Structure 1
Amino acid sequence: MSALDDRLILAHEAQDGRALVDLYTEAAQLAEEEDARAFYLTHAFVFALEQGAPQVAQLRQQLIEMGRETPV
């Protein structure tokens, strides 16, 4: 995942929140362990919230399904 790691670092350095949503979502899809997937999804969710991105509901639903977020 080093190419993805490099893109994440560049997006952080550029403070590109929209790219971070996509990159953390991609990292979650590639993660082999559930804890890693939850970690990346949580980051994607937080950046999506900050950006007002359309993925907020979808990311939150994924976290709910994983038992990492509580439905309201």
Structure 2
Amino acid sequence: MTTEHIIHRGIRITTLAASDAIETHCAPGHTAIRQQADGWWLYFVDEDGKVDGYDSPFASHAEALWAAKAAAEFSAQ
């Protein structure tokens, strides 16, 4: 998979390959989606560069992207 980016409500959402490091491809304020063996994981990079994510993966990229867009909507308020 190639690294892909979209902007939603001013938040950059990046889809990464399983081997891509979040810290290499995402800056503070960005969101990352990365496929791993057990599903699609969603990660957030805070203002200090700390990476945090949800407790469980999504079954598909579409579901993870929907959740990332919903989080961006919440952040935009």
Task: Please say whether Structure 1 and Structure 2 have the same fold, judged by a TM-score greater than 0.5.
Answer: no
Which structure shows the bigger proportion of residues in helix conformation?
A: 1
What is the TM-score when the length of structure 2 is the normalising length? Answer: 0.29
Which structure shows the bigger proportion of residues in strand conformation?
A: 2
